[in-house]
Amino acid sequence: MGIGHGTHKAGLLGGHSNGLARGTPDRIKSAAPGELMRLFVAIAPPPAVLDELDALAGPMRAGRPDLRWTSREAWHVTLAFLGQVDESAAARLLPRLESAARRHPAFRLAFSGAGAFPASTRANVLWSGLGGDREELAQLAESVAAGASSAGTPLPDRRRQFQPHLTLARCRMPADVTEIVAALAGHQGPSWTADRMHLVRSRLGATDQPRFAALASWPLRPPDPGPGPG
């Protein structure tokens, strides 16, 4: 599947926060009564960072048309996949996610290396890894998971160890992506600040690519100031 290579195109969530509803429940209330929404919580890397990763992945797409390469416009870092959630549970979830965001300071990340699930020799998913403040990222993910549980929407895969990544491609059948993982092993992308998280709805359709819509967005706390001059 081809993917465009424009400069500074808007990503999944319009960069950091452009075009997003900020904690408003209106989009949740627009769901039909009893309708289940497929939701996840994510961080959106800035467009310039995605442009750099997009350019790096371009030659690899051309050489592996057997893989289902994800759309650059949909790239994100998932904090928690919530599964199917109804309107009332989603409404309870909003204040808990807002509280989680307020408790955690913004932190620095960078795309680094690559890997595959479950293994590079029989991959179902090819991904780019993350470096930087991974501990802070994991703590935010844990707070999101706890908030979801208290809202009555426990994570379907809560027992799975949190592995931060950005999905580059999926495989229709288990595939050997060892060469791609090796080629990306030394990659170190530019550092960027994760300062906002988003609640996103995913709609699965007839195409290979799901459609995403941001329901709400919350800023993280400003970074903690360093020690003053001695």
Q: What is the pLDDT of residue 3?
A: 29
90 domain-assigned: yes
Q: What is the pLDDT of residue 17?
A: 37
13 domain-assigned: no
229 domain-assigned: no
Domain enclosing residue 199, as ranges: 31-219
15 domain-assigned: no
Provide block-wise average pLDDT over 10 residues at a time, the chain (230 residues): 37 44 50 80 97 94 94 94 92 96 97 97 97 97 95 80 94 95 95 97 73 93 70
Please give the Cα distance from 221 to 110 (Å, whole number).
19
Q: What is the pLDDT of residue 158?
A: 63
184 domain-assigned: yes
18 domain-assigned: no
Considering only the C-alpha atoms of the chain, give the largest distance between any 2 of them, rounded to a whole number of Å.
Answer: 62
Q: What is the pLDDT of residue 210?
A: 75
Distance of CA 60 to the CA centre of its chain: 21
Do 44 and 12 contact (CB within 8 A), yes or no?
Answer: yes
Do β-strands 107-117 and 77-85 pair in parallel, antiparallel, or remain unpaired? unpaired
106 domain-assigned: yes
124 domain-assigned: yes
Q: What is the pLDDT of residue 43?
A: 98
- Give the CATH number, domain containing residue 35: 3.90.1140.10
Q: What is the pLDDT of residue 223?
A: 77
Q: How many domains does the chain have?
A: 1
Give me the helix-helix angle, 134-150 and 87-103, nearest 10°.
140
Q: Mind telling me the catalytic residues? A: 76, 165
* CB crowding 34-46: b at 16 or more within 10 Å, else e: eeebbbbbbbbbb
Q: What is the pLDDT of residue 65?
A: 93
Closest CA to 171 of 113, 112, 114, 119: 119
Q: What is the pLDDT of residue 225?
A: 72
